[in-house]
Structure 1
Amino acid sequence: MTITMDHPSGYPGNEVSYRRFDDDASPLTEADIPVRPENRTKTDRAFSFIMGGCIVIAILFLLITFVIVIKHEPNRQSFNEAVMNEGGISNQEEFQDFSFKKFAWKLTLTSFISLGLTIIMAVLYRHATSFVVWGVLIISWAYFFIVTVALWWLNVDNIILKIIFTIVTVVLLCVLVFMKDKIRLVTMLFKEATKATFRMQAVFSVPAVTLLLLVIVWSIYIPATLYINFAGISSGSADSEYISGDFRITAVIFNTIITIWISEFLVSIQYMIVSGAVTKWYFTRNKELLGDPVYTSCYNTIKYHIGTAALGSLIITIVAVLRAILRALSQHSRFRVLVNCCMARIEEFIRFFTKNAFIVTAMHGTPFIQSGKRAVKLLTLNICNTITINSLGDFVLTMSSVLIVGLSVLFAYFILGLQVEKSENIYGCIFFVVVIALICCCTVLGTFETSFSTLFLCVCQDFLINNGIEKPYAMTRDLMEFLEDSKKTFAEKIEKKNLPKI
């Protein structure tokens, strides 16, 4: 069965056809998107077992590590010295002086300021979307323009830096002048994304829980790695040798890879839960019958799609490990930079692919590869909008995060009075403030980013299965009116271009 649609402005103007997959036994209906839990099957189950086995092996490594620690009874003082020397701390007094007890209440205040700035930004995204999007783009262009002029005016020796800032300034100017329709569409999608997230406020708890789990995972990994590397090393006697070199290297490498995989897995679960909830919100025409989409999406993901999240996160982990290996093997500095840039772009593409595959899995309940194919077909039909909208959306959210972090550091500088303190405390406190601000941004703005990407794919799917007449669109009235206005504007422009000259 082939569906033909005529895209309004903001989408490709040509008619395109889309053939349903062979696995679609019946036409997709409103109740089928997202697929009900009783109609779902467990996807990519093998990878959930593979991940479980790897975690068991990692736990065995940890148990063997602690057994050897207890057996050899490593010198606690030598262990502490090894850790402090690795961190560049000369003595215990300096380590104690590094604590922030006297700044505790001020750091707490700056943390609440970071949270407040993030909440203000979220409210502005909800109620003044156009102001935020255009404001971020204009402020960003002004910043890059000023820096570019300063770099050329001061004759800075770094020509690469000058070229990069010049290109970014010109591209932003072209976006502001020639891509107003795309910016309006991005603004509309942001408005719908924030409407969905504020309607389902429980969705903000998902990244918070993910962050807590990540803290637990890395809190286990870091001490275990330190014991493997440092325990008993500085005592000097043969009896206190902690562990053989080969085993130590194997344990560190394996535990590092598994920890990265688990971290990516938790982030993938978060992405799938949020996208599933937003998909439910989008395709439910009567929002009063929405129910609890966050709970439903969480139930579907954990019960049916753990294997899909494990497979997607494994692919990302493999690419990240290959990037680290190639970078370590690169001897020449310029070649290392080239390899790092190329692998970074590949990793970015893989992340983009897996995220959209997760969205389709949450939408249709299909396995990872099948969901990836469907996502690619949807996105390639709208390739121009896929590139511009996702790039603009990511840029706006990134610059919003940079603005929040910058303001948080500025407030912290004046509140803490760090200019009269020791340099160690300056860097430590600023690092703490930056981390807290990034956590707030990832919790709130990261949820907006997931909702934004999910809504774009939902709109593409909506145009494929509905025609607006016999099958009404599932999109909200505001989005439908915006697209209809864009369609009329597009038709008027075409009509003016076809008018004969007088």
Structure 2
Amino acid sequence: MGSSEDPNKPISVSDSSSPSHSQPLLSKSPFLSPIDSPPHNESDLNQFPHISYNHGPRSFKDIPFLILFLLFVLCTFGFGIFAIFHRNSNYSTVSSYSYNFNSTSCVKDSLSSANWVSLHASSLIWKDLTWTLVVTLILSVPICFGLLLLLKHYTKQIVYASLPFFIIVPIFLNVYWFVACTVGSTCSDAFPLAYRILVLVFVFLVIGVIVWIFVLNWHRIELTVSIIGVASDALSRNLGLFVALPCLTIGLVAYYAPIVVFMVFATFNGKIVPKVSKGEYVCVWKEDSWVPAYFALAILTMLWSATVMLEAQVYVISGTIAQWYFCREDETPRRSIRSSLRNAFGPSCGTICFSGLVIGVVRMVRAAVDSARHEEASGIVNLVLRCCVNALLTAVDFLNKFTINFAAITGEAYCSSARMTYELLRRNLLSAVFVETISSRLLVGIVLVISAIYTIVVCAILKAVSDLGSYSYIVAALAWVLLILVLGFFVHVLDNVIEAVYVCYAIDRDKGEVCKQEVHEVYVHLPISRSQRQSLNSRTVGV
């Protein structure tokens, strides 16, 4: 809409005589002021490519990283199979071996006894726990879809109705815990009154900080409501994602299962050897020297696979949303999820592996830096090194923010996607690190409110119809964890939809088109990049 370009046309260098670039960007839209229009000039038009969704055949990108990932997987499975066939069956009977001074080795006793510890759990607790989790899992599906429909049609009402609960629920839980602990003799004896008051006051201070954050960002609530509404509408038009994405997660779990089995059997590779302990010879199990290396390989493969799957989900979401965004109003994209899956695990598989590797390395380095910060490492050198590492990690996050979204739309390689995304946002005065972060916090708050209310209801029902006693709190807490996981997945998907729509909106601005008017009406109010605005102002003054 607003362009005669063929939607099936892949990326190509734009023609400087194109009508879409001969006028001020989005001049047809009443929502942009002159300062919001990106400073295109003739050199920019000749230098930067024409960006659109690539419907055509895509070439394979970043193949070395795909080969490296497959090499990790093959080595993990290969050595795992070797571990199964090379295992030592004496591992389970190591306690029946004793040291023989004549042969100076460990030999198996002729008679051995084993002590079996019987772990008895109440069948009533397990029955109630099982039924509670099953019902929670079943109810989580309509809760997610109901929340999506409410956010689509009544976003403002849901957000403003949830805001008071961000304060009421923590206050209720804080007071309830304090009163219950004071009344209960066991808790009151283990937790003195002075400490209970201290925790009570501390929680109220945290609640006060939350209120202060809301007051400070109140002017952005209205924009956040609109962004969530637009993203919910986009997601509701692509409900097939709620089938494809959980299937990818289930596939990851099924992929993890044999690796876990391999790691278990790897511990069976070794032998029983004598060892001096407290002046006496005892028989212990000694693993083969290659077992720790295999554990490291398996753990690295699992971590890399997890980040690859996360990036694959982002890729599928972005590709599906982009096809919906760039299609005409009177058309419905066909097989958009299938084509996104085919591109993700086909031509762009190496790009996804590259992105997963980058994210995995960044998280591991950041975890190492955080752990070193809590140790006694001090001195100006360590401080400077931590600052440099943090700056480097921040720069990588900055470049990686929308890279996989752009790759899903265009089919470009990882490095070119990172460069082109940065240039795209810079040309259009859009921030590469800010979409509207408060929307994620609001969504998380809504999820916490819903899960807290559900947990309170579950706990009340369990206390009324069962004889669990204090165990009802544990069962309700586990139901809360399960619902949080499901709703957290919903928030994760909606966050990625927001970012995918943001990249599509940036492409629209860059081409001077309006494919989705309702998106432009909302995203045009996002703050522009301050540094680029300053450069634009200085350029204007110089002219």
Alignment TM-score, normalising by the size of structure 2: 0.69
Q: What letter matches 1:243 in structure 2?
A: E
Aligned residues of 1:379 and 1:386 also touching (Cα < 8 A): yes
Tell me whether 1:241 sits opposite 2:279 in the alignment.
no
The answer for unaligned runs of 5 or more in structure 1 is: 79-89, 467-471, 487-502
Tell me, what secondary structure is at the counterpart of 1:451? helix
Structure 1 residue aligned with 2:214, among 162, 172, 197?
Answer: 172
Q: Which residue of 1 aligns with 2:85?
A: 67
Kindly state the Cα deviation for residue 482 of structure 1 after the two structures are TM-superposed. 5.9
Structure 1 residue aligned with 2:423, among 377, 386, 402?
Answer: 377
In structure 2, how many angstroms separate the alpha carbons of the residues matched to 1:404 and 1:233? 54
Kindly state the Cα deviation for residue 200 of structure 1 after the two structures are TM-superposed. 2.0
In structure 2, how many angstroms separate the alpha carbons of the residues matched to 1:452 and 1:284? 18
Kindly state the Cα deviation for residue 404 of structure 1 after the two structures are TM-superposed. 3.1
Aligned residues of 2:25 and 2:511 also touching (Cα < 8 A): no
In structure 2, how many angstroms separate the alpha carbons of the residues matched to 1:174 and 1:352? 25
Structure 1 residue aligned with 2:354, among 295, 311, 327?
Answer: 311
- Please give the per-residue CA displacement for 1:213-254, whole angstroms capped at 9, x wherever unaligned: 23223433444444545888999899883623x433222222
Tell me whether 1:35 sits opposite 2:54 in the alignment.
yes
Q: Which residue of 2 aligns with 1:283?
A: 326
Kindly state the Cα deviation for residue 60 of structure 1 after the two structures are TM-superposed. 2.4
- Please give the per-residue CA displacement for 1:44-80, whole angstroms capped at 9, x wherever unaligned: 11111110001111112322332333x33431897xx
Q: Percent identity?
A: 15
**Larger Rg over CA atoms:** 2
Tell me whether 1:473 sits opposite 2:514 in the alignment.
yes
- Please give the per-residue CA displacement for 1:324-367, whole angstroms capped at 9, x wherever unaligned: 444555563798xx999998998787567535111111112111
Cα distance change, pair 438–122 in 1 and its aligned pair in 2 (3 A)? same
- Please give the per-residue CA displacement for 1:124-171, whole angstroms capped at 9, x wherever unaligned: 1121112223334454366689999999xx984899988765554323
Tell me, what secondary structure is at the counterpart of 1:5? coil
Listed as ranges, the matches of 1:108-257 within 5 Å are: 108-140=134-166, 156=198, 166-176=208-218, 178-179=219-220, 183-228=221-266, 241=285, 243-244=287-288, 246-257=289-300
Q: Which residue of 2 aligns with 1:399?
A: 445
My pick for the range that moved more, 205-214 or 137-146, is: 137-146
Aligned residues of 1:117 and 1:404 also touching (Cα < 8 A): no
In structure 2, how many angstroms separate the alpha carbons of the residues matched to 1:399 and 1:294? 29
Tell me, what secondary structure is at the counterpart of 1:74? helix
Aligned residues of 1:72 and 1:240 also touching (Cα < 8 A): no
Aligned residues of 2:319 and 2:409 also touching (Cα < 8 A): yes
Kindly state the Cα deviation for residue 449 of structure 1 after the two structures are TM-superposed. 1.6
Structure 2 residue aligned with 1:5, among 21, 25, 33?
Answer: 25
Aligned residues of 1:110 and 1:412 also touching (Cα < 8 A): no
Cα distance change, pair 93–234 in 1 and its aligned pair in 2 (3 A)? farther
Q: What letter matches 1:44 in structure 2?
A: D
Q: What letter matches 2:502 in structure 1?
A: F
Q: What letter matches 1:278 in structure 2?
A: I
In structure 2, how many angstroms separate the alpha carbons of the residues matched to 1:22 and 1:200? 35
Q: Note the aligned Cα RMSD (angstroms).
A: 4.5
Kindly state the Cα deviation for residue 459 of structure 1 after the two structures are TM-superposed. 1.2
Alignment TM-score, normalising by the size of structure 1: 0.74
In structure 1, how many angstroms separate the alpha carbons of the residues matched to 2:302 and 2:473? 31
Kindly state the Cα deviation for residue 196 of structure 1 after the two structures are TM-superposed. 2.2
Kindly state the Cα deviation for residue 109 of structure 1 after the two structures are TM-superposed. 1.8
Q: What letter matches 2:56 in structure 1?
A: P
Cα distance change, pair 65–10 in 1 and its aligned pair in 2 (3 A)? farther
My pick for the range that moved more, 289-298 or 163-172, is: 163-172
Aligned residues of 1:114 and 1:408 also touching (Cα < 8 A): no
Tell me, what secondary structure is at the counterpart of 2:366? helix
In structure 2, how many angstroms separate the alpha carbons of the residues matched to 1:349 and 1:449? 21
In structure 1, how many angstroms separate the alpha carbons of the residues matched to 2:391 and 2:85? 42
Q: Which residue of 1 aligns with 2:3?
A: none
Q: What letter matches 1:453 in structure 2?
A: E
Structure 2 residue aligned with 1:262, among 291, 296, 305?
Answer: 305
In structure 2, how many angstroms separate the alpha carbons of the residues matched to 1:367 and 1:452? 22
Structure 2 residue aligned with 1:293, among 331, 336, 339?
Answer: 336
My pick for the range that moved more, 317-326 or 382-391, is: 382-391
**Paired positions, count:** 453
Aligned residues of 1:273 and 1:297 also touching (Cα < 8 A): yes
Kindly state the Cα deviation for residue 307 of structure 1 after the two structures are TM-superposed. 0.5
Tell me, what secondary structure is at the counterpart of 1:16? coil
My pick for the range that moved more, 441-450 or 9-18, is: 9-18
In structure 2, how many angstroms separate the alpha carbons of the residues matched to 1:108 and 1:206? 22
Cα distance change, pair 50–171 in 1 and its aligned pair in 2 (3 A)? same
Q: Which residue of 2 aligns with 1:433?
A: 479
Tell me whether 1:54 sits opposite 2:98 in the alignment.
no
Tell me, what secondary structure is at the counterpart of 1:201? coil
Kindly state the Cα deviation for residue 11 of structure 1 after the two structures are TM-superposed. 8.8
Q: What letter matches 2:137 in structure 1?
A: S
Cα distance change, pair 274–384 in 1 and its aligned pair in 2 (3 A)? closer
Tell me whether 1:360 sits opposite 2:402 in the alignment.
no
My pick for the range that moved more, 10-19 or 267-276, is: 10-19
Aligned residues of 2:248 and 2:309 also touching (Cα < 8 A): yes
Aligned residues of 1:264 and 1:317 also touching (Cα < 8 A): yes
In structure 2, how many angstroms separate the alpha carbons of the residues matched to 1:280 and 1:379? 20
